[in-house]
Amino acid sequence: MKKFLLGFVALFVAVMANAQVIFYVEPPSVNSASYEFTYATTGWGSPDMLNPANAVQGELVFAVDGTSADSLCCGAVTNGAAVTGKIAVLYRGDCQFGLKALNAQTAGAIAVVIINNAPGSPVGMAAGTSDASVTIPVVMISQAAGALLKPEIEAGGTTAFIGAKNGYYDYDLGFYKQHILRAEKFGNLQALCQDDTEFEVELGGWVYNYGAQDQNNVILHCEVDLGASNLLTVASTPEALLASGDSIFISLPTFSQATYANGYYDITYYITSDDADEFPSDDSLQADFVMSDTVTSYTELDAGTLQPITGAFYRASGTTSDNSACFYFNDPNASRVAIGGLTTAAATQYPDSVLLDGQFLEVYLYQWNDIFTDINDAVIGDIDVLTSGEYYYTANLQEENIYIPFEEPILLEDDQNYLFCVTHYGEDLFLGFNTVVDYTTNVNYYLTPNFPIAADGAWNVVGFGFDVVPGFSAHMFTAQVGLVELPNYDLTAYPNPANSYINIPMGTCEGDLNVTVIDISGKIVSNQNVSMNSSMLTVDVTTLATGMYTLKLTYADGSTKDVKVVVNR
């Protein structure tokens, strides 16, 4: 399977433009909807699809090349009469995209739809030897979309629209994934999100009037559900007028809860107005997130398994040695959790000669020490490796998630900048990314450097863009046996780990002392007052379960000291 090589920031610009270009299966199809797609751009002779004048509308027809299998169109089209004046549909595989499209164009097709031959999102179609001769639109849709549409395409009569729809319909409001606010991360840790002071989701988004007519009383709605329970339903104040071709950012009340249960939070945005929308396919969007005890991520997580979801596999173009994909982490309560490893996926140019067997990945936890305000002045120059891990493939686990533990787990520190990274080498390996979740509006709002990457030793804070999300997750956990390397504090405890009593030398401390024991989730598990009459504080931990704890020592004058300890049964 050929993968996609990306420049550092080119894709960000391309996908922003893609907001106006659609592949839409039209009514009365039972599968009428907009579908995820990629389309031919740089290096092709295809027209500029951002120009509405180049939009194409027509019937979808399979182009046949005389083979018995699904048509690849690597040879001349044999049903030219059926394809002439229609949108030719064919499959990815065996030959260059440009050759396929050129064969369909020669047979009279007005556009080409290529169905991906592998699970996941459609991939970018790089220019090949024939691509400059292709002068019609060429798009790729997913394997799943192709399978869904295939029966009705074969039955005949299914039509589609490909292109920029600005002004195509009279009444057409809409927005796309890059236009909305969402949770700052998709996967969130309950230990760091205990109440509304520690976690909330700002809501709002850009609404566009793509239609030829002005729109009245435009309203942005949002619903938040957890399972069968509705947690929030809000609507904006109606915008009296949204002119044709104009847009507006509409803010909604913040979503927050007194406490957050673990689970999959379903956030749905949708738009209404006084006039019936003639293109409802882009009137609603999802901005979901997950709360759990174990996983943090920016990528989508499977609601059942909490495994990261990837749909595309990328590496930086023009590189020959190391490639690193990273995501940024900082939390004011990070000391409540520890990190044990990363779950990621990779692929090679399978089914060509290069397989995953013998390939290897490395994972790194970096402490990011550079001082910066936000993404506008962020640089990566001062980083320290806190821990690492590696994974050697012994089987051809193409696109499958694997867990790579760190050599030693690390307890994180409050308000410290970190980078969680997956690194691979050479020209044959591609890492998993997610292109469904888009953080463009989030980055503009929070100015957070979410997805830095490195290639051939050079760092780039922007990475591939805010719509190309590293498809891996970080595994967090409560303290485990062996987690003994703790941060340095003014006060130290011994033995540490302990199973009965912990001793803390207190120097010349005298008087009353409050000892609060706090578990990894931030909950207080015990509280006692001690009258110090010696230089040693002894704390009984026989009632505590195995795990990591913070002993918060509060002096009579109100000053405090924290000591990190591990209880090991």
Instruction: Say whether both 94 and 145 belong to one domain.
Output: yes
CATH code for the domain in which residue 112 is found = 3.50.30.30
Domain of 524 in residue numbering reads as 501-567
**Where residue 490 falls among pLDDT bands split at 50, 70, 90?**
low
Query: Are residues 342 and 378 both part of a single domain?
Result: yes
- CA–CA dist 68, 88 (Å, integer): 17
Nearest CA-CA partner of 470 in 349, 300, 340: 300
- What lies within 8 Å, CB to CB, of 515 at 6+ separation is 526, 527, 528, 529, 530, 537, 539, 551, 552, 553
Highest mean pLDDT among 8-12, 230-234, 346-350, 549-553: 230-234
In this predicted structure, the answer to whether residue 509 has a pLDDT above a threshold of 70 is: no
Tens digit of each residue's pLDDT (9 = 90 or more) over 242-256: 999 999 999 999 999
| Contact criterion met (CB below 8 Å) for 464 and 433 | yes
Tell me: do 439 and 525 sit in the same domain: no
pLDDT at 3 over 60: no
Residues 446 and 388 in one domain: yes
329, 278: one domain: no
Give yes or no: residues 154 and 266 share one domain. Answer: no
Task: Examine the domain organization and report whether 406 and 345 are in the same domain.
Answer: yes
Tens digit of each residue's pLDDT (9 = 90 or more) over 275-300: 999 888 889 999 999 999 999 999 99
**Residues 192, 195, 201, 202, Cα dihedral to 10°:** -120
pLDDT tens-digit profile of 149-178? Answer: 999 999 999 999 999 888 888 999 999 899
Residue bearing tokens 């503009």 = 444
Whether 154 maps to a domain, the answer reads yes
Picking from 119, 145, 164, the residue at the C-terminal end of a domain is 164
Whether residues 312 and 458 share a domain: the answer is yes
User: Which tens digits make up the pLDDT trace of 264-276?
Assistant: 999 999 999 999 9
Query: Does residue 271 lie in a domain region?
Result: yes
More confident site: 281 or 569? 281
**C-alpha span between 506 and 496 (Å, rounded):** 16
Look at residues 251, 271, 292 and tell me which one is the last residue of a structural domain.
Answer: 292
Count of domains forming the chain? 4
Q: Does some domain include residue 466?
A: yes
Q: What is the mean pLDDT of residues 117-127?
A: 80
pTM of the complete model beyond 0.75 = no
Pair (458, 442) in one structural domain: yes
Single out the residue of 350, 339, 384, 336 nearest to residue 523, CA to CA: 336
**Whether 452 and 317 share a structural domain:** yes
Residues 160, 182 share a domain: no
* Averaged pLDDT, 429-448: 93
Do the beta carbons of residue 320 and residue 306 sit within 8 Å? no
pLDDT tens, residue by residue, 292-328:
999 999 999 999 999 999 978 888 877 777 899 999 9
